[in-house]
Amino acid sequence: MLDAHAEPWGIMRLPASGFVGAFDGVAAAWRATHPHAQAIACGMVGSAQGWVRAAYVPCPAGVDALAERLAAVPERGLHVVPGLTSAADPPDVMRGEETQIVGALALRPALSAASCVVLPGTHSKWARVVESNVVDFATFMTGELFAVLRDHSLLGRPARDAATTVDTATADDAFARGVRLAFDAAHGVAPLLFSARTAVLAERLDPAASLHYLSGLLVGDELRVGLARYGAPDALVGDPALCERYATALRTVDRPSVPVLDGAAPAGLWRVAECAGLVTDA
Amino acid sequence: MLDAHAEPWGIMRLPASGFVGAFDGVAAAWRATHPHAQAIACGMVGSAQGWVRAAYVPCPAGVDALAERLAAVPERGLHVVPGLTSAADPPDVMRGEETQIVGALALRPALSAASCVVLPGTHSKWARVVESNVVDFATFMTGELFAVLRDHSLLGRPARDAATTVDTATADDAFARGVRLAFDAAHGVAPLLFSARTAVLAERLDPAASLHYLSGLLVGDELRVGLARYGAPDALVGDPALCERYATALRTVDRPSVPVLDGAAPAGLWRVAECAGLVTDA
């Protein structure tokens, strides 16, 4: 790598100058010194609300299929990776994670033959990879569910009102209790959610730890369903702190430890760019 | 009934004059003409955030146990019905629904021997009644989950952005699809929630009907778990429009039709008051 530049922007948080301004804010200096360099991006920039609309490529699909369907913003030399759509009914979709999966296979080639790759996040993805293709995947809204329940439901109130903070051991214990309860709940998490409040009322849960317990319930439910449908994950991909939380949850339910892969997105963008012939010696 | 007076107040929406002002706004004129009349209330007015703290009575419990543990606001002649707590770990709780259940048994005595009473709402309750006692119950946060997802998540956006409204047949069809999908989902609703968005993206769901579909998913999940744990409901108790929605959902999954009981709360308050000796000829 020659240089790196990061901004906290996203499709919900663009600078006033919009996509053009965001791109130029990151890339204008590079383009001034390398006027023929090509650029590549993935994720919501290619959505209907994005800068240019990129396709959804149907599964099974790998890096070749993605490289063939790039969308373009010619005036900026920018190429945008398409998303993926599953064969389910209704079909599931991803945008951005397909590139992280390509990157994960590049970083760890042993995943290519047959593996389960999990990408924790606002909308967690569980993907099955066979012979370097994503053959199936499913979305769990774990992160968004947690955020809306924390910020807007009765379940967030004990922690919002708590006068004290919680020590790490108590927080970890509450998370593990939630994980185990939801993981063992044959019928799913719905009838357990209210316990994030009632356990506080019954003084069996520190109010300040109640969000860790709620987070454990939601992650435990995701693991229960994901493991039943996709088997044990072979890699956790994405934000390292969040992946470590999932790794902890897997250990809590006695599953083997799983490698955490960071930097999958740039690795995947590079692989797609290579495959599309965008990487030249110049 | 001699007279009735309703206000849209609740514990989250008190008049500036607080509990005293709310009570006097409703009852002052009655108390002026009947200075020795006793008053009775149930629900969150007896919670830690309420006017006077009423107990949680452990299950199994019926009208006698509730009548024995009334809390009081002596200066207003007011008695407050305690809530119930289940034997689960962590224990579940209710406040207000115990009184509606007592009222349902009074309105329909055939429920007293052995029945399943369902009270749809923000926090739906499924209760098992044996020999006029509530022996067990569970809470489903169906209504609150729907509200936070509608108002604060990505799933609410297609309907918020929809330029058109939806006709009743399309709305009912979307609700029924959601109910059936979630009811048949052995692993629970979590991996289905995202389909309220992806089905719109795939043009298999009218954006304006997407919240009806989401509501169907959540109600279908509640029915799946509730029926597995408590068997078929023998009565639906509470807001008639909401109960009719649950009755429709039960028909959608081929369950027999269920009576809807309205007016259970005043009937229950009267029964508790009778049992506590608060109802006199004077």
The structure tokens listed for B151 are: 């108002």
B162 against B80, higher pLDDT? B80
B151, B205, B225 ranked by CB distance to A191: nearest: B225
Q: Which helix (H) or strand (E) holds A151?
A: helix A142-152
Displacement of CA B98 from its chain's centroid (Å): 10
Quick check: A190 and B154 CB within 8 A?
no
Cβ neighbours around B226 below 10 Å, total = 24
Same structural domain for residues B203 and B272? no
Q: Provide DSSP, B146-209.
A: HHHHHHHSGGGHHHHH-SS---HHHHHHHHHHHHHHHHT-TT-SGGGTTHHHHHHHTTSS-GGG
Range of the domain at A162: 142-258
The pLDDT score that the predictor gives to residue B185 is: 93
Q: What is the CATH number of the domain that holds A233?
A: 3.30.420.310
| Listed range (A120-124, A156-160, B140-144) with the worst mean pLDDT | A156-160
B161 with B207: CB under 8 angstroms?
A: yes
> What's the average model confidence in pLDDT over B80-107?
96
Residue B135 lies in a domain: no
ipTM score for this prediction: 0.91
> Interhelix angle for B168-183 vs B210-230, to 10°?
40
B61 with B133: CB under 8 angstroms?
A: yes
Of the residues A44, A118, A152, the best mutation for testing chain B's interface (the one with the most B CB atoms within 10 Å of its CB) is A152
Cβ neighbours around A108 below 10 Å, total = 18
Give yes or no for residue A282 having a pLDDT over 60: no
Q: Is B215 on the interface with A (CB under 8 A)?
A: no
Question: Of chain A residues 59-88, which have a CB less than 8 A from chain B?
Answer: 85
B93, B142, B154 ranked by CB distance to A198: nearest: B93
B194, B201, B202 ranked by CB distance to A123: nearest: B194
Give CA–CA dist B151/B161, Å, rounded.
12
Tens of pLDDT, residues A224-275? 999 999 999 999 999 999 999 999 999 999 998 899 999 999 999 999 999 9
Give CA–CA dist B81/B52, Å, rounded.
10
Confidence class for position A122, pLDDT limits 50, 70, 90? very high
Tens of pLDDT, residues A104-116? 999 999 999 999 9
Residue A165 lies in a domain: yes
Quick check: B188 and A228 CB within 8 A?
no
Residue A7 lies in a domain: no
Residue B251 lies in a domain: yes
Task: Measure in Å the smallest separation between the Cα of B265 and chain A Cα atoms.
Answer: 23
Question: Of chain A residues 135-174, which have a CB less than 8 A from chain B?
Answer: 138-142, 144-145, 148-149, 151-155
The pLDDT score that the predictor gives to residue A12 is: 81
Tens of pLDDT, residues B149-184? 999 999 998 888 877 789 999 999 999 999 999 999
Give CA–CA dist A279/B29, Å, rounded.
84
> How buried is residue A251: exposed, middle or buried, by Cβ count under 10 Å (0-12/13-18/19+)?
middle
Q: Is B210 on the interface with A (CB under 8 A)?
A: no
Question: Could you tell me which chain A residue has the CA closest to the CA of B137?
Answer: A191
Q: Count of domains in chain A?
A: 1
- CB contacts of A151 in chain B (<8 Å) are 152
The structure tokens listed for B207 are: 């954006």
Quick check: B152 and A151 CB within 8 A?
yes
Residue A48 lies in a domain: no
Give CA–CA dist A128/A136, Å, rounded.
5
Q: Is A98 on the interface with B (CB under 8 A)?
A: no
**Residues with Cβ < 8 Å from B250, sequence gap 6 or more?**
B223, B232, B233, B256, B257, B258
Quick check: A190 and B149 CB within 8 A?
no
Q: Is A130 on the interface with B (CB under 8 A)?
A: no
Quick check: B190 and A138 CB within 8 A?
no
Quick check: A222 and B149 CB within 8 A?
no
Residue B149 lies in a domain: yes
The pLDDT score that the predictor gives to residue B134 is: 98
In this complex, how many residue pairs, one in chain A and one in chain B, have their CB atoms less than 8 Å apart? Answer: 114
Quick check: A225 and B90 CB within 8 A?
no
Residue A124 lies in a domain: no
- CB contacts of A228 in chain B (<8 Å) are 187
Same structural domain for residues B247 and B269? no
Chain mean pLDDT for chain B: 94
Same structural domain for residues B85 and B57? yes
Q: Is B130 on the interface with A (CB under 8 A)?
A: no
- CB contacts of B188 in chain A (<8 Å) are 187-190, 221, 225
Same structural domain for residues B13 and B98? yes
Distances (CA, A) of A38 to A63, A76, A79, B146: 18, 8, 8, 45
B154, B155, B188 ranked by CB distance to A221: nearest: B188
Decide the pairing of beta strands A235-237 and A260-261. parallel
Per 3-state DSSP, what percentage of chain A is helix, strand, and coil (rounded to 5)? 50, 15, 35
The structure tokens listed for B181 are: 């999908």
Supply angle C-alpha A43, A149, B198, rounded to 5: 40
Which is nearest to A233 in space by CA: A133, A104, A146? A104
Tens of pLDDT, residues B186-224? 888 998 999 999 999 999 999 999 999 999 999 999 999
Same structural domain for residues B241 and B270? no
Same structural domain for residues B17 and B101? yes
Same structural domain for residues B155 and B90? no
- CB contacts of B154 in chain A (<8 Å) are 141, 144
The pLDDT score that the predictor gives to residue A80 is: 98
Residue A28 lies in a domain: no
Quick check: A149 and B148 CB within 8 A?
yes
Same structural domain for residues B2 and B97? yes
The pLDDT score that the predictor gives to residue A273 is: 97
- CB contacts of A221 in chain B (<8 Å) are 188, 190
Give yes or no for residue B277 having a pLDDT over 80: yes
A155, A199, A222 ranked by CB distance to B190: nearest: A222
- CB contacts of B229 in chain A (<8 Å) are 187, 191
**Residues with Cβ < 8 Å from A117, sequence gap 6 or more?**
A101, A104, A111, A126, A127, A129, A233, A234, A235, A237
